[in-house]
Structure 1
Amino acid sequence: MRIAVCLKQAPDCSSVYVDPISGEVDTERFVQTLNAADACALEAALRLKEQLGAGSVFALTLGPGESEEVLRVALAMGADTIERLWHPSAADWGPLTIAAALAARLRADPSLPDLIFCGEQSSDWASGTVGPALAAYLGLPQITGVIGLEAHQDSGQLLLRVTRRLERGYRERLLARPPLLLTVHETLNEPRYPSLPAHLAALRATITVRDPLSLPQFAADFEAEETTIVEVRTPRPRPHRLPIPDSQLSPFERIGEIITGGTSRRQARLVEGSPEELAHELVRFLKERGFV
């Protein structure tokens, strides 16, 4: 079982700052890290490899020299091989050209991987384009928005039970067999923390770098990459909720409700006793409030 994982270095959302006057993003404040959805995709690939007891995980990224940090993280987490693609002109590439470069690299091997994992979207552009475009370039079936993944053996073949997220809170369950491309949502799992020896070994590792323009099957349609930024702004804060006071109260009490934010009538009670007494009291409270 050969598994490939496509990774991206992206800015931490908490480090993004937009100047309120100029509207420009302060890129010098960015803290670059492994994209959250990509980390979950890598964790899913590693868990699948461990469950099967055989196979290899290949981590691939396209980016400048500083993006090697995400590959070293992948190596520390348990990836078997890592590789970086880069060309100076790639700084201006859009998601379709990036997907074409990744597809050309995967086609350079004698055979395609059995499974390809990608993050559903990145924390910076969040277009969700690279994964589906990569599947289209490779001619593979795909499942997007994966939030649940189970692997089973069926007559000696791998069978995947996949749960994907749909609009309006709906879910879809599918059965799939390799070869397949999956885009993973960041709620799929909790990525592992590598050990210190694994981190130190990853720091000493040599990373192979390839020029995507030298790949024989690389072909990009740069005309399809036109993107227009209409506006950049900071996230809007959540609206403040103003509680509406009870109309049956007196004017004085209603003013008190507004000033205290609706907390004046809330009550708190400390219950002490043995675990059995506390359990009985909790059950009684839930029954009084109609929860059980």
Structure 2
Amino acid sequence: MKVLVPVKRVIDYNVKVRVKADGSGVDLANVKMSMNPFDEIAVEEAIRLKEAGKASEVIVVSIGVKQSQETLRTALAMGADRAILVTAAEDVHTDIEPLAVAKILAAVVKEEEPGLVICGKQAIDNDLNATGQMLAALTGFAQATNANNLEVEEGSATVAREVDGGLQTIKVTLPAIVTTDLRLNEPRYASLPNIMKAKKKPLDEKTPEDFGVDVAPRLEVVTTAEPAERAAGVMVGSVDELVAKLKETGAL
């Protein structure tokens, strides 16, 4: 069984994001980029399935700018077998929208015929949490979102997923789309020998035109702003004063 894992290049989660002075977007100049953390978890889970003999091949795919090769090489160094880069933008500030990404992924799924697609539940740059669900709709595959645990059997997968108030366990028929939550696993670090080996693993380059997909934006970002600074705290001398202050601020 093939396992397909989409990965996205995003600003590293340790970096403090800066908004452009004109509010047109996020400043990416000289900013460290890395693999989306949820996608890293998805790659790790796919590799574990292969190590357990449940998967025969792990394929990673990224849709975006040319520099996404670095993200794919990271996935290959972790243990993925081969990679596909769909160059859909020239400017690093261009974010391909979820519907266009899902359409391209649906075409890749049709071509590769994986038994399982494991996606990060969302990207930390836009937090849309939409691509996996859209891909399931386009392919007609079963879907299980927010996976906390994944067990793959012959022809099916059992997924424990996080819901309000606890966990829900569902069983889906393969092929299926599974989106990962943070607690699914702890991704491994790529060793230096594997990083060197990753440079020789196959990486195919394609374009949206190869799949007949239009990636023209349907959404317009009107403005981007940093969160308002947190106001300084106020010391109170009694419970009555605390209640009065809360009433003044509308917290009660």
Counterpart-to-counterpart distance in 1, 2:191 and 2:90: 36
The question of 1:98 aligning with 2:113 is answered no
| d(CA) in 2 for partners of 1:176, 1:233 | 41
Measured in 2, the distance between the counterparts of 1:172 and 1:30 equals: 39
Structure 2 equivalent of residue 255 of structure 1:
none
Instruction: Give the superposition deviation at 1:88.
Output: 4.7
Q: Percent identity?
A: 31
Distance in 2 of aligned mates of 1:76 and 1:209: 18
CA contact (8 A) 2:42 2:119 kept: yes
Structure with a larger share of its residues in helix: 1
Contact 2:38 2:123 survives alignment (8 Å)? yes
Spell out the pairing of 1:92-171 with structure 2 (5 A cutoff): 93-109=96-112, 112-151=113-152, 153=153, 157-167=154-164, 169-171=165-167
Give the AA of the match of 1:103.
A
CA distance in 2, matches of 1:206, 1:178: 27
The answer to whether the 8 Å contact 2:121/2:180 transfers is yes
User: Offset of 1:204 from its aligned partner?
Assistant: 4.2
Q: CA RMSD in A?
A: 2.7
Residue 170 of structure 1 deviates from its aligned partner by: 3.8
Structure 1 counterpart of 2:189? 193
SS in 2 for 1:144: strand
**CA contact 2:10–2:124 (8 Å) conserved in 1:** yes
Q: Under a length normalisation based on structure 2, what TM-score does the superposition of the two structures give?
A: 0.82
Match of 2:4 in 1: 4
The residue number in structure 2 matching 1:176 is: 172
Relative contact order (C-alpha < 8 Å, sep 6+): which is higher?
2
Q: TM-score, normalised by structure 1?
A: 0.71
Q: How many residues align?
A: 236
Q: How does 1:235-254 map to 2 (within 5 A)?
A: 235-236=227-228, 245=237
Structure 1 segment 1-292 matched on structure 2, within 5 A: 1-13=1-13, 14-19=15-20, 22-24=22-24, 25-52=26-53, 54-88=55-89, 91=94, 93-109=96-112, 112-151=113-152, 153=153, 157-167=154-164, 169-215=165-211, 218-220=212-214, 225-236=217-228, 245=237
Q: Which has the higher Rg, Structure 1 or Structure 2?
A: 1
